[in-house]
Amino acid sequence: MCTTFRLTTNDGAPIVGRTMEFGADLDWRLAIVPQGTRFAGTAPDGASGRRWTARHGFTGVTALGRMSATDGVNDAGLYAGLLYLPGFAQYEAADGVAAEDLISPDEVASLVLASASSVEEAVDAVSSVVVWNRIEEVLGGILPIHLVLHDRSGAAAVVEWVDGERHVHENRLGVCTNAPPFDWHLINLRNFVNLSATNVAPLELDGAQIAGLGQGTGLLGLPGDWTPPSRFVRATAMAQATLKVDGPDAGMLAAFHVVNAFDIPKGVVRGPDGGDYTAWSSVVDLAGGRYAVRTYEDPTPRLVTLGELDLSTGAEVQSLPLPSQSAFLPWSAVESRT
């Protein structure tokens, strides 16, 4: 369960928001990866796959102790995120493909963040490799993902592997969730063309005035459950209706308010083996190279600014634990900060 969306400020700068839902702690860490960092993809039988060297420095969240990003932004303003696509993701066949052309699904975001400066270049980078059906022992199967891309120009795309074939979808709405595949969600939006952020005017019926009960009548019928189709509709409605603001700070603040609508507490979504919850959320200012992340345990956003980091060739890769302790400050402490 994940939700991602894009807002745009009055000067056209894109802001990307995202939630990461999972049912277990996957050792989430913040990675800071400089230019010149060398990567090696994974091929079958433990062999090394595609090798690449980072042309761009980037930051983002990794999992499972690997340097494979699940979400991040690079110094060119390219965003890449991995979202689940269970029941539909099926990658390309590795048989007969040279190991040097192979990578596993979890390595896709790191490949594009290190290599590309735009959505177009990111798609080219993905098209130059074969993503194969690697079994993730932790998950007991393949990692079923699709790749979400945004860049500072406002371009966006979703790359999916379905039935062993790669599909690239232009994403004009800037919204993505999970299954089914992306093109299905666009068709499903047609079921909600009646929705509007504007309240519905009262009706006159045989001389009686029938008025809505309070605010929000234009969005009456907006789905509120946590399924991917409902979250896609809700994220589209909220991203389209949220007023544009001036400047990146106000844009990031607006995005966090939208993120709040998709925050899932523990216990709200349950299954036979537990249930998902919002482990962390991110908001990214693509033009400013700023990446803010907050966690379930610490809802205060922590900001990383790429321009303030040493991302030059030869700098060290850093891997930092995400904040995990919230601090409830007394009112006097809050006043002392103003």
Tens of pLDDT along the chain (338 residues)?
899 999 999 999 999 999 999 988 889 999 999 999 999 999 999 899 999 999 999 999 999 888 899 999 999 999 999 999 999 999 999 999 999 999 999 999 999 999 999 999 999 999 999 999 999 887 889 999 999 999 999 999 999 999 999 999 999 999 999 999 999 999 999 999 999 999 999 999 999 999 999 999 999 999 999 999 999 999 999 999 999 999 999 999 999 999 999 999 999 999 887 889 999 999 999 999 999 999 999 999 999 999 999 999 999 999 999 988 777 778 776 566 55
- By the 10 Å C-beta count (0-12 exposed, 13-18 middle, 19+ buried), 160 is classed as buried
The structure's pTM equals 0.94
Structure tokens at 187: 């068709």
The CATH topology of domain 2-196+218-337 is Penicillin V Acylase; Chain A (3.60.60)
Residue whose token pair is 């009456």:
220
Structure tokens at 32: 């800071």
Coil, helix or strand for 118?
Answer: coil
Query: Would you list the domain boundaries of the chain?
Result: 2-196+218-337
H helical segments located in 128-247? 182-188, 228-241
- Cis peptide bond upstream of 299, omega within 30: no
Q: Which residues contact 310 (CB under 8 A, 6 or more apart)?
A: 34
* Integer angstrom CA distances of residue 146 from 1, 3, 19, 24, 205: 12, 12, 15, 20, 49
